[in-house]
Structure 1
């Protein structure tokens, strides 16, 4: 009986030790799971913070780009408006010069008809040709100048917009570092 009791006690002690070992192992596994979950929560929090910082930095950069583009567009439009105003002034001056030429033409014809006829060629034909050539050349030069001014202003706006975007560097955010 003694051997049988010894066997039962040994089995009970062995079962208690196995149960205690299992309980200890499971508590360690549970503690490790808690540590992993805590670390995962910290990593997720860092990722959220860095993502929010990156989004904020990108939005700031995008806002800087947009304001630079808007500023250059406004400046370009002001240059185009100034060129149009100058072209209008040039057209007014052209109209004044054409009126002067018309007056000179009229005065030359009046002087030619009031004087005695001469043996040489009439000066009215050359004056008419010159006046017509002058008015056509001036009109075409005005058109070309207006186009050139608009193209120049648009080109300057494009170039300055590109330069403004090149000067504005995008914000950089460092990647999260792992704690391994």
Structure 2
């Protein structure tokens, strides 16, 4: 009877060991399934992140290209305005040179009239008031032309800068 109890105990122990081993194997399968599911989910998350990075880089590149195109358009517009300004300036120089030529003729005619007048003394006014006015006009014309050209170029540059900024801000 004692042997029979030992055999039963051994059978129970063997059954418990087999049950534990079976449970262990089944839990391993379940864990492997969970790990496989987690790995698949993680791979999906990584793919989504990679797609998001690629999409954001593409969007940034596209935005950069649009902004560069806007800047190029405004640069071309500014060049056209500067060319038109140069044409206007050339026309103004021609008109100014014609006026200077006429003033030179007036100065020569006036000088021949005043040549017969007496020599002036110290503290006396000039014998050629027309020449003084012509000289003043020529200096004013030179200064005015320089200031005008500078101001026009600054205006073109400033407006171009504002339009470029507005064009860049409009690009979304």
1:146 aligns with 2:149: yes
1:134 aligns with 2:134: no
1:24-103 residue pairs with structure 2 within 5 A? Answer: 24-103=26-105
| Conserved 8 A contact 2:114-2:128 | no
Q: Which runs of 5+ in 1 are unaligned?
A: 170-180
Using CA pairs below 8 Å that are at least 6 residues apart, which structure has the higher relative contact order? 1
Equivalenced residues, count: 165
CA-to-aligned-CA distance 1:119-155 (integer Å, 9 cap, x gap): xx99961110111011111111000001001100110
Deviation at 1:57, TM superposition (A): 0.8
| Conserved 8 A contact 1:72-1:157 | yes
Deviation at 1:77, TM superposition (A): 2.0
* Cα separation, partners in 2 of 1:109 and 1:126, compared to 1, 3 Å: same
RMSD of aligned Cα (Å)? 2.1
For 2:47, what is the secondary structure of its paired residue? Answer: helix
Q: Which residue in the other structure is 1:177 paired with?
A: none
Deviation at 1:110, TM superposition (A): 3.6
Q: Which residue in the other structure is 1:125 paired with?
A: 128
Aligned equivalents of 2:150, 2:6: Cα separation in 1: 116
Q: Which runs of 5+ in 2 are unaligned?
A: 119-123
